């Protein structure tokens, strides 16, 4: 007759615990894999909604309204890059000289920004008007800023202060500064968070260092916007003159 296994022995306890750990680990791994695709889809949708929200275009369809691409340090497009994969590690993307851009169909652009607050990472999206100077909107988030203090950067009320601010003064890049004691109408300033000095300083640094990466693109677009319309060629001028004569005779 087979000897009955002693359920009170140390060996039994070790074997039982090991089996249970393996079984639970397998179940957790299977669950994680099965949910991975859904989690990625949710994260992707959240990023798309944040980009649209920075433009005040929550009612638009991202895929119809936004074109995404990546620039290098000279402002030239890099082909074949997954923009949203870069957003998973934006500091790493910036360090590698890869800068994501989200361009709206109406000519505005959204630029991702990243930095460090008091307790950890802060990040967001800055939307600029077609002049590549005026802030159309901003979305900011954080990992662990203090509720009621630094965490205010993630509130709609605080973010509205950035709308209409400008990042250039003439040709000089000024960015946006969070000013302790109040910006008092400064075109490039926003009131700092009361009691949140470290977070405010972190946002100021985040905006300056992140937006600086996009200066080649921004300056080129500003020059193109300011350039006068090209004079018509000889054939075009003659055709315009003929059209004017026809209109006058009519």
| 203 vs 220: CA distance, rounded Å | 26
Q: Is 83 helix (H, G, I), strand (E, B) or coil?
A: helix
DSSP assignment letter at 228: P
CA distance 123 to 61: 23
What pLDDT does 117 receive?
Answer: 94
Beta strand pairing status for 189-191 and 109-116?
unpaired
Residue 246: the pLDDT is: 47
- Of 118, 120, 95, nearest to 210 by C-alpha is 95
DSSP β-bridge partners for residue 141: 123
How far the first Cα of the chain sits from its last, in Å, is 118
Give me the count of residues in the chain: 250
Beta-carbon contacts of residue 151 (< 8 Å; ≥ 6 apart)? 142, 145
Task: Phi first, then psi: give them for residue 212, nearest 5 degrees.
Answer: -60, -30
* Tens-binned pLDDT, residue by residue, of the chain (250 aa): 455 666 666 777 777 778 888 877 777 777 666 655 677 788 899 999 999 999 999 999 999 999 999 999 999 999 999 999 999 999 999 999 999 999 999 999 999 999 999 999 999 999 999 999 999 999 999 988 988 888 999 999 999 999 999 999 999 999 999 999 999 999 999 999 999 999 999 999 999 999 999 999 999 999 998 877 555 555 655 565 555 554 555 5
pLDDT score of 229 = 57
Q: Is 57 exposed, middle or buried (0-12, 13-18, 19+ CB in 10 A)?
A: buried
pLDDT at 34: 65
Report the candidate in 3, 214, 248, 193 with the shortest Cα–Cα distance to residue 109: 214
pLDDT for 14 equals 75
Angle between helices 197-212 and 215-226 (to 10 degrees): 60
What pLDDT is recorded for position 215?
A: 98
């Amino acid at each position: 007759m087979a000897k009955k296994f002693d359920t009170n022995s140390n060996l039994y306890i070790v074997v039982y615990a090991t089996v249970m750990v393996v079984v639970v680990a397998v179940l957790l791994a299977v669950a994680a894999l099965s949910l991975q695709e859904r989690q990625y889809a949710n994260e992707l949708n959240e990023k798309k909604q944040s980009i649209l929200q920075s433009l005040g275009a929550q009612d638009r369809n991202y895929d119809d309204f936004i074109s995404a691409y990546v620039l290098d340090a000279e402002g030239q497009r890099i082909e074949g890059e997954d923009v949203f994969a870069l957003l998973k590690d934006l500091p790493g993307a910036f360090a590698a000289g890869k800068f994501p851009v989200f361009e709206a169909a109406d000519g505005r652009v959204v630029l991702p920004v990243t930095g460090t607050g008091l307790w950890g990472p802060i990040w967001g999206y800055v939307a600029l008007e077609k002049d590549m100077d005026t802030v159309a909107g901003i979305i900011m988030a954080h990992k662990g800023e203090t509720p009621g203090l630094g965490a205010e950067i993630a509130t709609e009320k605080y973010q509205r202060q950035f709308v209409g601010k400008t990042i250039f003064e003439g040709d000089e890049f000024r960015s946006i500064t969070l000013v302790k004691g109040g910006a008092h109408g400064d075109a490039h300033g926003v009131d700092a968070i009361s009691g949140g000095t470290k977070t405010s300083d972190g946002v100021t640094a985040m905006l300056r260092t992140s937006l600086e990466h996009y200066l080649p693109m921004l300056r080129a677009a500003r020059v193109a916007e300011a350039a006068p319309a090209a004079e018509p060629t000889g054939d075009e001028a003659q055709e315009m003159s003929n059209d004017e004569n026809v209109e006058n005779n009519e």
